[in-house]
Structure 1
Amino acid sequence: MIVAYGVANLLQSIAAARTSVHHTFDPGLLVRLASQRTYILGLLCQVLGFLLAFLARRDLPLFLVQASVAAGLGVTALLGVLVLKWVLPPAEIGLLALLLVGITALVLAAEPAQSRPLGPAMMIALTVTLVVLAVAGFFAVRLHGALGSVVLGSLAGVGFSAAAIAARPLASEHSVTGYIGNPLLYLLVAHSLLGQLLLGLAMQRGSTTAAVAAMDAAGAVPAAIVGLLVLGDRIYPGREWMAAVGFVVTLASVLGLTRYAEPQHHHATAPGGHPGGRASERTRLRAAGL
């Protein structure tokens, strides 16, 4: 799952760099991205990561699975350095090392257990969250640079977190009929699609590391809290301190990564957005390696 998400982040970043920046909340961005082979490959990797994560959530607590998704950021950064010649400052490299330490602590503290079912109140909460995220994303697209990456990435993270909350009890279904008839399936799909759109917008505005780090940080906290309080997620007795330290270190690392984020792509602007001109178009094509 970690490797699949890391490769997906990199490939989708390349596709975002080749697509004109959108300054409106336009779902058409997903259609334009989907016209690129690179994005399709990245999406396939993300689907693979999603399926592996879905299977993991059947028995593992959300604070572990969601935090482990953040480890994909390290794979993305490493591949970015090797393939795209990204330059990571020493502080960012140190934070990636801390991220690995935090996730390791969570792995050691998590106790496998099946999920409790979600009640009607939580189903309504997930539906309301979907609407709130869509409205927030409509206004957040006006932000630019690293700030836009962080805000949109955070909104994407909350969407993916809600999808993870829906997936945890859904994974306990034992038949196709049970899956299709469960409203959680459709909430999972809706939150995932919205999160995908928000992530695509975030990656266009600055550092991929910033967008993904913000997404991971925002995606880990809500799912961890709901998992422990509502879904019956467990920690091995005596290792509560390890889980707490691991979670804090993980979040501090991914949040710290946003502080050092600098734009690594130059884009043209989509029609109706801010003027870019032919010079910015040439710069975008050079940045995309074309």
Structure 2
Amino acid sequence: MIVGMVAALGAAVCFGVASVLQAKGARAAEPGSGSGVDTRLLARALAQRVYLAGLALDAAGFGCELVALRRMPIYAVGAALAASLAVTAVAAARLLGAALDRTEWAAVGTVCGGLALLGLAAGGEGHGHGGAGLRWGTLAAAGGVLLVGAVAGRLPGRARAAGLGLGAGLGFGVVEVAVRLVDGVASPALYALLLGGGAAFLLLTSALSRGSVTTATAAMVVGETVGPALVGVLALGDRTRAGWAPVAVAGFALAVLGALVLARFGEGGAVEAGPVPAREPVRTP
């Protein structure tokens, strides 16, 4: 349990700092002129060294996430990953000069308090492994993320940002569940992990390139925490310590709500993204 919590917090730190580095790199990239899902945005951003440094941190964070998901309930890991926005907010305040007001500092404290409650209440990783139906279901869900992106990319303004952000969150959620289900190279869950992570990567990049950063990031946080947590509890046997379920629910709610308050820092400190390029997603598989 201790190893899992340390790994989850390590992932949050890596993802949070990576957000700021990627924001600096992506803002220097040449802007695109299209709309919806921009498949060339990533190539432009990859030309920036600071952006690549952010990707390196993302890779380290993903390694920590894998360790955490193998040792802790999905609901605890998901809340910890959402808390990467608290790290991003603090890092953006120091590196990008983004100002945090009292409400946002309170949100950082709320996230930390929620994670502390989860750490006290979380039980071990559930011993359920899911059946073939769940494995194929994760692959179908990963494909559905692409469909969400295709539809959301045609919507206007905030609706587009929210739809793409939610789709990205669902993709990251697929990754969280699939990690627990992979049982070999032929497992559908392995391909769900790769497809879901790649689709989430693209959708969030496109969401943040044009539209409301706050809307997109908040939708992502909801998509990547609530659904996977339910799957972990209902299908994989994730539980809390005996008698600690209300504390776990409170901790999860506080961590996620605090992250939602800090959603504007999902882009490294900017409140809104106009037609200029956006940062890469908070993490990548």
TM-score (norm 2): 0.81
Which sections of structure 2, spanning at least 5 residues, go unmatched?
A: 1-10, 279-285
Choose which of 53, 69, 87 in structure 2 pairs with 1:75: 87
In the alignment, residue 17 of structure 1 is paired with which amino acid? R
Equivalent runs, 1:266-281 vs 2, <5 Å:
266-268=274-276
Equivalent-residue separation in structure 2 for 1:14 and 1:141 (angstroms): 25
Equivalent-residue separation in structure 1 for 2:164 and 2:26 (angstroms): 14
Choose which of 177, 183, 193 in structure 1 pairs with 2:198: 193
Q: Contact 2:36 / 2:206 at 8 angstroms: preserved in 1?
A: no
Is the deviation greater in 141-150 or in 213-222?
141-150
Instruction: Give the secondary-structure state (helix, strand or coil) at the position aligned to 1:111.
Output: coil
Task: Work out which of the two has the higher radius of gyration on C-alpha atoms and give 1 or 2.
Answer: 1
Deviations 1:179-202 (A, max 9, x none): x23332221011111111112123
Equivalent-residue separation in structure 2 for 1:123 and 1:65 (angstroms): 20
Q: Contact 1:17 / 1:266 at 8 angstroms: preserved in 2?
A: no
Instruction: Give the secondary-structure state (helix, strand or coil) at the position aligned to 1:234.
Output: coil
Q: Verify: 1:64 aligned to 2:72, yes or no.
A: no
In the alignment, residue 236 of structure 2 is paired with which amino acid? L
Counterpart in 2 of 1:13? 23
% identical aligned pairs? 32
Equivalent-residue separation in structure 2 for 1:131 and 1:259 (angstroms): 28
Q: Contact 1:58 / 1:169 at 8 angstroms: preserved in 2?
A: no
Equivalent-residue separation in structure 2 for 1:108 and 1:250 (angstroms): 14
Choose which of 35, 42, 45 in structure 1 pairs with 2:57: 45
Choose which of 221, 227, 233 in structure 2 pairs with 1:222: 227
Equivalent-residue separation in structure 1 for 2:121 and 2:249 (angstroms): 9
Which sections of structure 1, spanning at least 5 residues, go unmatched?
A: 271-290
Quick one: structure 1 residues 79 and 256, their matched pair in 2 at CA, closer, same or farther if it must change by over 3 Å? closer
Deviations 1:221-276 (A, max 9, x none): 11100001111112100101101111222232233445899735554489xxxxxx
Offset of residue 215 of structure 1: 2.0
Equivalent-residue separation in structure 1 for 2:155 and 2:106 (angstroms): 28
Equivalent-residue separation in structure 1 for 2:107 and 2:159 (angstroms): 19
Q: Contact 2:209 / 2:277 at 8 angstroms: preserved in 1?
A: no
Q: Contact 1:12 / 1:39 at 8 angstroms: preserved in 2?
A: yes
Choose which of 35, 43, 58 in structure 2 pairs with 1:31: 43
Q: Verify: 1:152 aligned to 2:180, yes or no.
A: no
Quick one: structure 1 residues 64 and 230, their matched pair in 2 at CA, closer, same or farther if it must change by over 3 Å? same
Equivalent-residue separation in structure 1 for 2:176 and 2:80 (angstroms): 13
Q: Verify: 1:237 aligned to 2:242, yes or no.
A: yes
Deviations 1:54-98 (A, max 9, x none): 011112100011110012111111111111111233323322221
In the alignment, residue 162 of structure 1 is paired with which amino acid? V
Counterpart in 2 of 1:273? none
In the alignment, residue 75 of structure 2 is paired with which amino acid? F
Is the deviation greater in 206-215 or in 34-43?
206-215
Alignment: residue pair count? 263
TM-score (norm 1): 0.80
Equivalent-residue separation in structure 2 for 1:212 and 1:115 (angstroms): 32
